[in-house]
Amino acid sequence: MEQTNESWRILIVEDDERLAELTREYLESNGLTVSLETHGGPAVERIRNEQPDLVVLDLMLPGEDGLSICRRVRPFYSGPIIMLTARTDDLDQVLGLEMGADDYIGKPVKPRVLLARIRAMLRRVTEAGQGSADEASGEEPVRLQFNDLVVDRSMREAWLSDESIDLTSAEFDLLWLLASNAGRVLSREEIFTALRGIEYDGQDRSIDVRVSRIRPKIGDDPIHPRRIKTVRSKGYLFVKEA
């Protein structure tokens, strides 16, 4: 059964209680189910036990910071994580992505922007789960194979030599986008718009960070990649026969 907005469960981990409550009220008024956690300490176990559809995670928290929480939950939580940061330092954003965050938003957070990012991210996950119907109708493949690498959109999983690859939601989305366009160079602008639904500002490094994380996971050489190649001044190319 297709999941609707009304059944999407969001966990917000934010120590600013007033901001968290206001954000919850806005998201719930737009059909989402929202729960709150204001301390970093219990956040890991709550994510483990509740398995929300998406986590909104503040970077600076009492008890345990967002980077540590993100790193610790990734072995058992595959849902999207949006990190909130009051800092503008690129290093914090890159660290968040390297720890497994799928997206980040600068504070102060505009509720409409947060809602749009949440919906876009969950919609991609939901639509990917409906891939079997596309395969039955012959519209779009849901499983791609490149020698020992297999990527399955309906299961949102990938395997290398029959071994499951540990990918975050955003990493899988990027891998599928590149693999389903194998043999064609995709610009950063195309990738950014397809994955985040907003215009590329020319400075965001999230795509590059994710590519660097995906390469070793799919058996690619990070220094001399043969499967996901960087095309200077253009973008990225997934090679069909690597």
- Enter the pTM of the model: 0.70
Tell me the pairing of strands 149-152 and 54-58. Answer: unpaired
| pLDDT per position as a tens digit, 5-35 | 557 999 999 999 999 999 999 999 999 999 9
Name which of 80, 104, 78 is nearest 91 in CA terms: 104
Nearest to 146 by CA among 160, 135, 134: 160
pLDDT digits (tens, 9 = 90+) for 74-114: 888 988 999 998 765 666 667 777 778 888 888 888 899 89
Has residue 142 got a pLDDT over 80? yes
With contact defined as beta carbons under 8 Å apart, do 86 and 44 qualify? no
The confidence score (pLDDT) of residue 3 equals 47
> What gap in Å lies between CA 224 and CA 221, rounded to an integer?
5
pLDDT band at 197 (very low <50, low <70, confident <90, very high): low
* Single-letter amino acid code for the residue at 36: L
Nearest-10 crossing angle of helices 169-180, 188-196: 130
Average pLDDT over residues 149-166: 91
Tell me, what's the pLDDT at 202? 61
The residues, any chain, with a CB within 8 Å of residue 14's CB and separated by 6 or more, are 20, 23, 36, 37, 38, 56, 58, 61, 84
